[in-house]
C-alpha cells in the first residue's frame, strides 16, 4: 500500500476540500488523463485498485503516471469506545483530491483504447471524473 515513509506529525486535522486544485490541472506526462470533477478523499486501496486495473490493461505497450499520493493520515477510534481519551489511532491514508485535479495519466495507446481503459479505471473511484487529453501533442522523441 502507498503511504509516506516519514511524516512530521502522526495525526492531522481533517480539513476541507473547498475550491479547485491549484496545480496539476492539465495532462503533462502522458497523452490522456483522468481528471476529478468533484472533490474527494482517495484511499491508498482505491489508488492501488486503479493502478492495478490500468497496469493490466496497458501491459507493456503503454505507460502509467500516478499524479497523486496518499499523504494524509486518517485516525479512527475503536468500536464501542466512550467519547474522550484523546484522538484515535491512524487507520488509513488518503490523498486529498480537489476538483479539476488530474490524478492518473497514460500514454502509448490509441484514443479509443485509452478512453476505454480510463473509463474502466474511473469505475473504481468514489467520485465523478472526466477523461482529458494533452493540449499539445507529444513528439515521438519525447516518448522514448
The answer to whether 40 touches 97, Cβ cutoff 8 Å, is yes
Alpha carbons 101 and 36: distance in angstroms, whole number:
5
Q: Does domain 32-78+87-143 have CATH number 3.60.10.10?
A: no
How far from 131 is each of 12, 16, 27, 52, 118, CA to CA, in Å? Answer: 32, 25, 10, 18, 7
Task: Domain ranges for the chain, please list them.
Answer: 32-78+87-143
Residue range 95-123, pLDDT digits in tens: 999 999 999 999 999 999 999 999 999 99
Q: What is the pTM of this model?
A: 0.86
**Dihedral sign, Cα of residue 115, residue 134, residue 24, residue 44:** positive
Amino acid at each position: 500500500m502507498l503511504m509516506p515513509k516519514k511524516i512530521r506529525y502522526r495525526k492531522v486535522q481533517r480539513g476541507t476540500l473547498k475550491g479547485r486544485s491549484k496545480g496539476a490541472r492539465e495532462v503533462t506526462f502522458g497523452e490522456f488523463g483522468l481528471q476529478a470533477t468533484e472533490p474527494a478523499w482517495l484511499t491508498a486501496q482505491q489508488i492501488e485498485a486503479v493502478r492495478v486495473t490500468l497496469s493490466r490493461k496497458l501491459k507493456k505497450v503503454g505507460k502509467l503516471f500516478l499524479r497523486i499520493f496518499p499523504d494524509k493520515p486518517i485516525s479512527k477510534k475503536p468500536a464501542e469506545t466512550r467519547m474522550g481519551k484523546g484522538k484515535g489511532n491512524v487507520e488509513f491514508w488518503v490523498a486529498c483530491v480537489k476538483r479539476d485535479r488530474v490524478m492518473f495519466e497514460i500514454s502509448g495507446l490509441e484514443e479509443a483504447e485509452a478512453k476505454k481503459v480510463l473509463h474502466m479505471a474511473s469505475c473504481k473511484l468514489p467520485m465523478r471524473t472526466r477523461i482529458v487529453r494533452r493540449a499539445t501533442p507529444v513528439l515521438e522523441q519525447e516518448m522514448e
